[in-house]
């Protein structure tokens, strides 16, 4: 008996009947259900892991690129006439003009950086101080358009901008005055006198990254220069059109900055962490692939039992004209249907998990009594998830490839069953 390629209608009909058959009828419905649930859970775990992995990497890179420069240009260390060493850029505007002329550069900003202590309402905390112009600050996407903000960047020039975590711990709000103390002050006959200035909080931002929200303070460039005792800029921050391929324009930036410049990209500072993420992704993929393989082995167990129970049926089908290929396709359809259905269910569950991860994780956090996600350790303020078609296709291809491929073994055994032997004692 022959059928239409690849599967004939009668082959689908017989396979469907075997799938529905109960154990007393020679079927393996319980094993079928176990196999289906195993494949679904394995694919769900695979998709959920892929989604969290992609979300974590995307959020981490987005916060790096949204609140930090893509490329930082420094001056080489040199000795001043007074005998001290410095990296200060005395003419930042000329450096900035040369860097702006480089193709693919979208923004250039001279900045001043330092460390200090910020205090308000009797509380004092350490802070990373950044002196920057208002227009340059507005060019930072996550500062100009953060997750949440209070105040206006238009009022930045006479005031300062601080992270929400820092503001909360200080008990400060927009309009309040805070004091900033830096230890490197003016030299007097009695030693170095710390500098202390009072500023009004004009803008509070939340970018969703712990180390930024809890430590960063932006000051107007001139105010930061007076407070920190700087003459010129400490560095030049550069933003480019395609930061994922920033290494392509680094030679042009070095040439534009001149021989006294050092160039440092965001990949240089965060590359080790991103490589660790990629390595972890590969390890997790291998481990979860083993999980899918174990789930697919249940299909083999069920099919082996089915072939043993249906030996008489196979013998009859062969005597009425079914070919070995037709028998193979029938039992392949049985196993492949389980794998395909389980894969689809797992994909749907994984997609729903990624879409509704916030309420799900909130429930888990409440169930565990809180503290499941510590932003001090993981930097991000929440567990991210991001669905990508490539991840869904990878999970589906892995699951279907394993379940379909492993189904061929018992299906081939059924096809090669000798009908004479199958009917000898019938």
Give the tens place of pLDDT for each residue, 135-180.
999 999 989 999 889 999 988 988 999 999 999 999 999 999 999 9
- pLDDT of res. 377: 47
The Cα 80–Cα 410 span in angstroms is 81
Reference 8, options 274, 281, 379, 317; nearest CA is: 317
Using the Cα atoms of residue 151, residue 157, residue 163 and residue 166 in order, give the sign of their dihedral. negative
Q: What is the pLDDT along the chain (426 residues), one digit of tens a residue?
A: 444 557 777 777 877 877 776 655 444 567 778 888 989 999 999 999 889 888 888 877 887 888 889 999 999 887 767 667 778 898 899 999 999 999 999 999 999 999 999 999 889 999 999 999 999 999 999 899 998 899 999 889 889 999 999 999 999 999 999 999 998 766 666 566 788 899 999 999 998 888 889 999 999 999 999 998 888 899 999 999 999 889 999 999 999 998 889 999 998 888 777 788 788 888 888 888 888 888 888 888 878 777 777 777 777 777 777 777 888 888 888 888 889 999 999 999 999 998 888 788 777 777 776 655 655 545 555 667 888 888 899 999 999 999 998 888 888 888 777 665 655 545
The pair of structure tokens assigned to 152 is: 């206006």
Do 26 and 122 reside in the same domain of the chain?
Answer: no
Interacting residues of 350 by C-beta distance below 8 A, sequence separation 6+: 43, 44, 45, 46, 47, 48, 50, 51, 392, 395
- Residue 311: inside a domain, yes or no? yes
Do 182 and 279 reside in the same domain of the chain?
Answer: no
The Cα 150–Cα 152 span in angstroms is 7
Last residue of a domain, one of 228, 259, 290: 259
Q: How far apart are the first and last CA of the chain?
A: 23
Do 277 and 189 reside in the same domain of the chain?
Answer: no
Reference 127, options 91, 78, 162, 85; nearest CA is: 162
Q: From residue 300, how far is each of 130, 182, 234, 297 by CA, in Å? A: 63, 70, 66, 5
The Cα 164–Cα 212 span in angstroms is 9
Do 21 and 109 reside in the same domain of the chain?
Answer: no
Do 146 and 222 reside in the same domain of the chain?
Answer: yes
- Residue 209: inside a domain, yes or no? yes
Do 240 and 327 reside in the same domain of the chain?
Answer: no
Last residue of a domain, one of 211, 236, 259: 259
Length of the chain (residues): 426
Do 221 and 279 reside in the same domain of the chain?
Answer: no
Residue 67 in 3-state DSSP? helix
The pair of structure tokens assigned to 264 is: 């440092």
- Residue 141: inside a domain, yes or no? yes
Do 298 and 177 reside in the same domain of the chain?
Answer: no
pLDDT in tens, 27-44: 456 777 888 898 999 999
The Cα 206–Cα 162 span in angstroms is 9
Strands 105-120 and 71-75: unpaired
- Residue 247: inside a domain, yes or no? yes
Q: From residue 394, how far is each of 47, 288, 371 by CA, in Å? A: 9, 12, 33
- Residue 266: inside a domain, yes or no? no
The Cα 148–Cα 48 span in angstroms is 27
Do 255 and 285 reside in the same domain of the chain?
Answer: no
- Residue 56: inside a domain, yes or no? yes
pLDDT in tens, 235-255: 999 999 999 889 999 999 999
Do 123 and 227 reside in the same domain of the chain?
Answer: yes
Do 246 and 300 reside in the same domain of the chain?
Answer: no
- Residue 1: inside a domain, yes or no? no
pTM above 0.75, yes or no: no
Bridge partners for 119 per DSSP: 124, 179
pLDDT in tens, 194-208: 888 999 999 999 988
- pLDDT of res. 26: 45
Do 32 and 108 reside in the same domain of the chain?
Answer: no
| Count of structural domains, the chain | 2
CB 316, CB 417: distance < 8 Å:
no
Residue-range definition of the domain harbouring residue 18: 9-62+273-423
Last residue of a domain, one of 236, 259, 282: 259
- Residue 267: inside a domain, yes or no? no
Rg (CA), the chain: 33
């Amino acid at each position: 008996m022959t059928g239409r390629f690849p599967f004939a209608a009668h082959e689908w009909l017989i396979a469907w009947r075997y799938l529905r058959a109960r154990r007393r009828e020679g079927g393996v419905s319980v094993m079928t259900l176990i196999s289906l649930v195993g494949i679904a859970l394995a694919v769900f775990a695979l998709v959920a892991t892929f989604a969290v992995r992609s979300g974590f990497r995307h959020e981490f890179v987005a916060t790096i690129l949204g609140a930090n420069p893509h490329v930082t240009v420094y001056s080489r260390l040199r000795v001043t006439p007074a005998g001290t060493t410095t990296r200060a850029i005395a003419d930042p505007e000329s450096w900035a003009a040369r860097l702006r002329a480089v193709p693919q550069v979208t923004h250039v900003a001279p900045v001043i950086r330092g460390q200090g202590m910020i205090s308000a309402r009797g509380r004092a905390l350490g802070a990373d101080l950044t002196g920057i112009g208002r227009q340059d600050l507005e060019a930072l996407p996550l500062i100009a358009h953060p997750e949440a903000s209070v105040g206006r960047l238009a009022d930045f020039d006479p005031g300062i901008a601080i992270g929400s975590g820092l503001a909360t711990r200080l008990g400060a709000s927009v309009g309040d005055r805070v004091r900033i103390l830096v230890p490197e002050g003016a030299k007097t006959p009695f030693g170095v006198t710390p500098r202390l200035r009072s500023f009004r909080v004009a803008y509070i931002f939340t970018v969703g990254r712990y180390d930024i929200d809890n430590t960063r303070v932006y000051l107007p460039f001139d105010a930061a220069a007076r407070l920190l005792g700087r003459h010129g800029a400490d560095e030049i921050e550069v933003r480019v059109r395609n930061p994922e391929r920033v290494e392509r324009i680094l030679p042009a930036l070095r040439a534009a900055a001149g021989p006294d410049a050092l160039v440092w990209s965001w990949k240089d500072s965060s590359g080790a962490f991103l490589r660790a993420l990629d390595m972890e992704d590969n390890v997790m993929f291998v481990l979860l692939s083993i999980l899918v393989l174990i789930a697919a082995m249940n299909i083999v167990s069920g099919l082996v039992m089915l072939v043993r129970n249906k030996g008489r049926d196979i013998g009859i089908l062969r005597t009425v004209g079914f070919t070995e290929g037709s028998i193979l396709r029938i039992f392949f359809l049985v196993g492949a249907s389980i794998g395909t259905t389980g894969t689809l269910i797992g994909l749907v569950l994984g997609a729903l998990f990624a879409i509704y991860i916030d309420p799900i994780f909130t429930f888990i956090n409440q169930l565990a009594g809180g503290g499941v996600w510590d932003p001090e350790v993981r930097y991000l303020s929440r567990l991210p998830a991001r669905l990508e078609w490539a991840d869904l296709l990878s999970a589906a291809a892995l699951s279907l490839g394993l379940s379909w491929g492993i189904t061929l073994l018992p299906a081939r055994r059924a096809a090669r069953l000798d009908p004479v032997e199958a009917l000898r004692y019938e």
